[in-house]
Amino acid sequence: MLNLVSQNLNQTPAFSIGFCCHMEVFAYLCSRCSGTGYGFNFNGSVMNIALVAHDGRKQELLSWVRYNQAILSKHTLYATGTTGRLIEEITIDNPEVPGTLTCPFKGKVTKLLSGPLGGDQQIGAMIAEGKIQMLIFFCDNLIVQGHQNDVSALTRLAALYNIAFATNRTTADMLLTSSLMDNPDYKVQIPDCIAKYANRDLQ
CATH of the domain at 141: 3.40.50.1380
Q: What is the pLDDT of residue 187?
A: 87
DSSP 162: T
Whether residue 24 sits in one domain with residue 96: no
Residue 203 within any structural domain of the chain: no
> Looking at the 3D structure of the chain, how many domains does it have?
2
CB-facing half-sphere around the CA of 197: CA atoms within 13 A: 9
Whether residue 117 is predicted with pLDDT greater than 50 in this model: the reply is yes
Active site residue 120: yes
Q: What are phi and psi of 151, to 5 degrees?
A: -60, -45
The residue from 93, 120, 150, 201 that is catalytic is: 120
Is 0.85 surpassed by the pTM of this model? no
Bigger pLDDT: 51 vs 36: 51
DSSP 80: -
Mean pLDDT score of the chain: 83
Whether residue 56 sits in one domain with residue 100: yes
Query: Percent of the chain having pLDDT more than 90?
Result: 64
Instruction: Give the pairing of strands 92-93 and 187-189.
Output: unpaired
Q: What is the pLDDT of residue 37?
A: 55
